[in-house]
Chains A and B, each alone.
Chain A
Amino acid sequence: MTIALQQHARLRLQGITKRYPGVVANDSVDLTVMPGEIHAILGENGAGKSTLMKMIYGAVRPDAGQIFWDGHPVQIASPMAARQLGIGMVFQHFSLFETLTVVENVALALEGKFDLTSLASRIEDVSDRYGLSIEPHRHVHSLSVGERQRVEIVRCLLQNPKLLIMDEPTSVLTPQAVIRLFITLRQLASEGCSILYISHKLDEIRQLCDRATVLRSGKVSGEANPAEETPATLAQLMIGTSLPEMSRQPRTPGEVKLAIKRLTRQTQDPFGVSLAQVRLDVHAGEIVGIAGVSGNGQAELMAALSGEQTLADKHMVLLDGQPVGHLDAGSRRNLGLGFVPEERLGRGAVPDMSLAENAVLTAHRQALVQGPLLSMGRIRQFALQCISSFGVKCAGPQAPARSLSGGNLQKFIVGREILQSPHVLIVAQPTWGVDVGAATFIRQQLLDLAAKGVAILVVSEELEELFQICDRIAVLTGGTLSEAKPVSETTIEEIGMLMGGVDAQEGEAA
C-alpha cells in the first residue's frame, strides 16, 4: 500500500450519471482510484456497479459527469479506447472461444498483426511472472474455469494495463483458487497497477482491498477501509439496514423422498460432462447440498433430475420410491417435484411473458387451467400471492419477467415452486447473483420448507451458503459425486479440497 498523496489519481470519476428509461443507474457517482491501489466496488445487484464499470471501460457513455485519467479529462468512447489508455477488464462471464487454443484466443483480442509463436512465449513469460500457469497451446474447452479466468487475466496483462477491472472474479473459483488469485492481484498492485474489484462478498473484500466504495441504488452510500469494518457494518452500508438473522429450526429427517441410484449418463455435447455412478438419497425434512465448480456435471445432473433430459434406465431416479427416470419434466412435476433452474430468464421464466403468464409455466397444476382454457382470474390471483408472500418487487402481475432484477425474478420463481407444495424441491444456485437481502430471504424460505418435511437438494458454488443451510454436503467433480457428509463432520477447507480435484494438481504445477 504505497499511496503517495502527491500523485495524480490513476482514475477519478466526478459526478458520473447514467439514466436508463425509468431508472437512474448511476447518480452523480464520485470515485478515486490511486496507482497501485486495490479498490473495491461493493453493492447489491442493481446498485449500479456494472453500469459504472461499463462506463469506465467505454462500453456505455455517461449522460453527465467527467472522467479523469492520470489527472487529464478523457472521454472513453469505446472499449478499444479504454484499452489504449491502459484499462483492462476481466468479465464475470468469460469471452473465450472454446474451440480455439489459448494463444489463438489471446491473439484475437490484440490489435494489429500477430505472430503466434512469439505470442505464445510472451504468454508464458507473463504467466510465469504472476504465477498464472497456463499452457498457450491447449484448447480452451479443456481448461477448468479457474484456468479460463487466468487466460482472461493474462490477455489483459499482455496489454500492460494500468488499471484492471475484475467483475465478481471469485464467483466461479474454489477457495484454493481464490487464494492464488489474490496473490497475483497483490503482486500486480505492488507493481503499480490499480485494481477495481467488484464483489458482494464481504470477507474477500476485507482480505484483499485497500479501500472500498459502496454503491446503493446508483449512489455512493459510503467509503470505507474494509480492513477496519466488520461484514455487518459493510452490509449495513450496502443494504441500508442490518441483515436479518436466519433462524434454523431443528429438523428430523424422515423417509427417503428422492433417491438417485447409480445415475450414469453419457453426454452428447462435446463440451459437456458425463455423469458416472452418481448416488444420493435425500430424506424428508433434509437439505442436502451439492458443492462444486460449475462445469463439473451440475447442469447435466440437474437436467437428469428435473426430467429435461430423460434417462434410459427409469430406476436411476426414484421419487417417493417410484421410478421416474424415463418421465419428462411435466410428469415428474405431477408426482410432486419442484425445480428452480440456474438460468432464470429463458428457462425458469419466459423473458417476454408477464409474471402472471410465467406463473402458468409450472403452476398450471394449481387449477389455473379450466378445461382447455386459461383461467385469467385465478392466474392473476396466484401471481399476486406469489408476489406478496415472497416480497417480489415489481410493477405487478403484468410486468414482463425480463423487467425484474435477477434477485426479484429468482424470488418469484422460488415462490412459484414453493407455493405448489412440492414433496421434493431441487434448487440450482439459489442465490447466484442475488443481493444479500434477497439471498437471506431465499435461504430462510428453504429452511422453513425443510422444517415442513420437504426434501430439498441444493446445488451451489457458494460454500458459505451450503454450510449455512444444509444438513449434508456432497461434492460434484468431473461428473462423479462424493459421499455426502454431515455438515458437522466436515469443514469448508475439506469441501474446497474435494472441489478442486482438478485445480489441486494445477496448484502443484504453479
Chain B
Amino acid sequence: MTFRLQLESRPVASRTMRYVAPVLAAALTLVTGLVLFYALGKSPVEAFKVFFVDPIKDLNGITEWLLKASPLCLIALGLAVGFRANVWNIGAEGQLTMGAAAAGALAVHFDGATGHWLLPAMLVAGLVAGAAWAGIAALLRSRFNANEILVTLMLTYIATFFLGYLVDGPLKDPNGQNFPQSILFGESALFPLLIEGTRLNASTLITLLAIPFVWVLMMRSFVGYQLRVSGLAQDAAVYAGFSRTKAIWMTLLLSGGLAGLAGVGEVAGPIGQLQPSVSPGYGFAAIIVAFVGRLHPVGIVLASLLMSLLYLGGESAQIALQLPNAITGLFQGLLLFFLLGTDVFVNYHLRLVRVSGGQK
C-alpha cells in the first residue's frame, strides 16, 4: 500500500489562510535566505542581523526604511485597485519614469524660480504624465482589445529609453562634464525634508494621504464596488450594466497617476536631479507588494515596509558580506515565489491519500 500527497479543493476558501499565506511566505523567504547565506559560507545569524536588523537600528536607518517604503506603497495602492478589477498594469515602472521625466523637465526649465508653485506644478505634471502613459494602454485595450499586460510592459522600455534620451540630450546639464544627467534641482523644486539630517521628505505625506483615499475608493465607494464586481465576476458586471471600458480607463489612469507621483517623489526627493535611472525597480517590486498585501490598503502598507527592508538589507549585505547586488532581486523573487506557493492553500488543502485500486 502506498501513499501520496494530494491537493484537495476546499469547499470554502480559507479566510485564515488568506491572511496567513503572506506571513508564511515571508517566513519561508527568510529561512531560505538564511540557508542560502549558510551555503555561501556566511554565518546565518550574522547574515540575519546584517539583512534585517542593522539597516533599521538607528534613526537614519528608519527614515531610509520609510523613504523606500513610500513609493512602493503608493504604486502598489494604485496597482491593487486595477488588479482587483482584473486590469493588469505591469508597467508602473514606465509610468513612474514618465512622471519623473515630466516633473524633471519642469524643474530644469524653471530652474531658479522662487515661490511655492513649482513643486505643485511638478506633482501635477508627474500625475498627468504617469496617467497618460498608462492611458495609452487603456486606449489600445478598449479600442483594439490589445492586452494591457504586454502594452504596459513594453511601454516601460520606451519610457526608460525616452528618459535616457532626455538626460543625454535636451535636459543634459551643460556643465556636467558630459555625464548623462540633468542639473541638480533648485530648492523650490525639491520636497522639504521632514526630519533634518535625513533624506525623509514630504513626498511620504502623499503616500499617507493616498492610503485612506484608496481604502475608501476600494471599499466604500460605488465606483470601487463596480471595479470589484468587474474583477470578481465579469458576467455579473455586464448583467448589472457596469461598463468594462470605464473600469479599464479608471484603473489604468489611477495606477499610472500614482506611479507618476512616486516618480516625482524620487527625482524631487532623494535623487534631486534627472538620471538615466530614477528607480531601483520600484514599479515592478510594487506588483509583489500589492499581492503580498492581499490587494488591501492595510496589507499593502505592511508589505511595502517588508519590501523596503529587503532593499535595505540587500544593500547592507553587499557592503558587510560582500554579496552581489542580485541578492535584493533574489529575495524579492523568493517572496513572490513563496507567496504564490502558499496561496494554493487558500483554496486547497493537502491530504495524504492511500493509493489502492477498487477491489473486485
Residues in chain A within 8 A of chain B (CB atoms): 20-21, 58, 72-78, 80-82, 84-85, 306-308, 328-333, 339, 341, 343, 346-353, 357, 360-362, 364, 369, 372-374, 376, 402-403
Contacts A/B (CB < 8 Å), 18 sampled: A76-B358, A84-B358, A85-B358, A85-B360, A328-B241, A328-B243, A329-B241, A330-B240, A331-B241, A346-B235, A348-B236, A348-B239, A351-B232, A353-B228, A362-B239, A372-B221, A373-B222, A374-B221
Contact A376 B356 (CB under 8 A): no
* Smallest beta-carbon distance B252→chain A, Å: 20
Task: Specify which chain A residues have a CB less than 8 angstroms from the CB of B216 in the assembled complex.
Answer: 373
B236 touches A373 (CB 8 A): no
**Pairwise interchain contact A347-B357, C-beta atoms closer than 8 A:** no
B358 touches A372 (CB 8 A): no
Contact with A along B286-300 (1 / 0, CB 8 A): 000000000000000
Residues of B within 8 A of A81 (CB): 357-358
Complex interface residues of chain B between 182 and 239 (CB less than 8 A to chain A): 216, 220-223, 225, 228-229, 232-233, 235-236, 238-239
Known A350-B229, A364-B222; judge A341-B359 contact (CB<8 A).
Answer: no
Bound Cα distance A442, B288 (Å): 47
Complex alpha-carbon distance, A328 and B228, angstroms:
19
Q: Take A330-B242, A357-B225 as given contacts and tell me if A347 and B236 are in contact as well, using a CB distance cutoff of 8 Å.
A: yes
CA distance A333 to B358 in the complex (A): 55
Closest chain-B Cβ to A502's Cβ sits at a distance in Å of 28
In the assembled complex, which residues on chain A have CB atoms less than 8 Å from the CB atom of B360?
84-85
**Listed residue (B228, B240, B355, B359) with the most chain A CB atoms within 10 angstroms of its CB:** B240
CB < 8 Å neighbour of A77 from B233, B239, B356? B356
Task: Tell which of A58, A84, A307 touches B241, judged by Cβ atoms closer than 8 Å.
Answer: A307
| Residue B12 interfacial (CB < 8 Å) | yes
B contact residues around A307 at 8 Å (CB):
241
Please give 16 more A-B residue pairs, beta carbons under 8 A apart, in addition to A82-B358, A374-B222.
Answer: A75-B358, A81-B358, A84-B357, A85-B358, A328-B243, A329-B240, A332-B241, A343-B235, A347-B239, A350-B233, A360-B222, A361-B239, A361-B240, A372-B221, A373-B221, A374-B225
Contact flag A372-B241 (CB < 8 Å), given A84-B360, A85-B360, A343-B235: no
- List, in ascending order, chain B residues with CB within 8 A of A82's CB: 358
A75 touches B11 (CB 8 A): no
List, in ascending order, chain B residues with CB within 8 A of A80's CB. Answer: 358
Contact of B357 among A21, A77, A306, A362 (CB under 8 A): A77
- Our pick among B232, B356, B358 for the contact of A352 (Cβ within 8 Å) is B232
Provide the bound-state CA to CA distance between A350 and B236, in Å.
6
Residues of chain B within 8 A of A343, CB atoms compared: 235
Distance in Å: Cβ of B291 to nearest Cβ of chain A: 17
C-alpha gap A80/B356 in the complex (Å) = 12
Asked, given contacts A82-B358, A353-B229, whether A308 binds B238 with beta carbons under 8 Å apart, the answer is yes
- Which of B216, B221, B229, B239 gathers most chain A CB within 10 Å? B239
Whole-angstrom CA separation of A346 from B228 in the bound complex = 13
- The distance in angstroms between the C-alpha atoms of A245 and B34, with both chains bound, is 72
Check if B221 sits within 8 Å of A74, measured CB to CB.
no
Verify B241–A330 contact, CB threshold 8 A: yes
Chain A residue numbers with a CB within 8 Å of B236 are 346-350, 361
B232 touches A339 (CB 8 A): no
Docked Cα-Cα span, A58 to B11, in Å, equals 18
Min Cβ gap B66→A in Å is: 30
Could you say which residues of chain A place their CB within 8 Å of the CB of B358? Answer: 58, 74-78, 80-82, 84-85
Q: Are B233 and A346 in contact (CB under 8 A)?
A: yes
Contacts of B220 in A (CB 8 A): 373-374, 376
Contact A75 B240 (CB under 8 A): no
B223 proximity list for chain A (CB < 8 A)? 372
Question: Measured between C-beta atoms, what is the minimum distance from B243 to chain A in Å?
Answer: 7
Q: Which residue of B lies closest to A376 (CB)?
A: B220
CA distance A333 to B241 in the complex (A): 9
A12 to B40, CA, bound (A): 63
CA distance A446 to B69 in the complex (A): 57
**Roughly how many angstroms separate A372 CA and B223 CA in the complex, as a whole number?**
7
With the chains together, A328 CA to B163 CA distance in Å? Answer: 43
For chain B, residues 306 to 360, give those with C-beta under 8 angstroms from any C-beta of chain A.
Answer: 355-360
A82 to B356 Cα, complex, angstroms: 13
User: Which residues, 154 to 205 on B, are CB-close (under 8 Å) to A?
Assistant: none
Which residues on the A side are within 8 Å of B242 (C-beta)? 330
Find chain B residues with CB under 8 A from A85 CB: 358, 360
Q: Which residues of A contact B228 (CB under 8 A)?
A: 353
- Which B residue sits closest to A358, measured CB to CB? B236
Q: How far is the CB of A154 from chain B (nearest CB, A)?
A: 23
Least CB distance, A426 to chain B, in whole angstroms: 12
Which residue of chain A lies nearest to B223 when distances are taken between CB atoms in the complex?
A372
Residues of B within 8 A of A361 (CB): 229, 236, 239-240
Chain B residue contacts of A330, Cβ below 8 A: 240-242
Contacts of B356 in A (CB 8 A): 75, 77
Mask, B125-151, CB within 8 Å of A = 1, is 000000000000000000000000000
Q: Which residues of chain B are within 8 angstroms of A306 by Cβ–Cβ distance?
A: 239
- A77 and B216 alpha carbons, distance in the complex (Å): 50
- Among B13, B238, B356, B357, the most chain A Cβ lie within 10 Å of the Cβ of B238
Q: Which residue of A lies closest to B10 (CB)?
A: A21
In the bound complex, what is the Cα–Cα distance between A306 and B355 (angstroms)? Answer: 50
How many Å from the CB of B34 to the closest CB on chain A?
Answer: 36
Interface residues of B in 1-50 (CB under 8 A from A): 11-13
- Counting chain B CB atoms within 10 Å of each CB, the highest count among A72, A80, A329 belongs to A329
> A residues within 8 A CB of B241?
307, 328-333
- Closest CB-CB distance, B151 to chain A, in whole Å? 24
Within 8 Å CB of A346, what residues of B?
Answer: 233, 235-236
**B232 / chain A contacts, CB cutoff of 8 Å:** 350-353
* Interfacial chain A residues near B13, Cβ < 8 Å: 352
Contact, CB under 8 Å: B12 / A362: no
Q: In the complex, A24 Cα to B204 Cα: how many Å?
A: 53
Across the interface, do A369 and B222 meet the contact criterion of CB distance under 8 Å?
yes
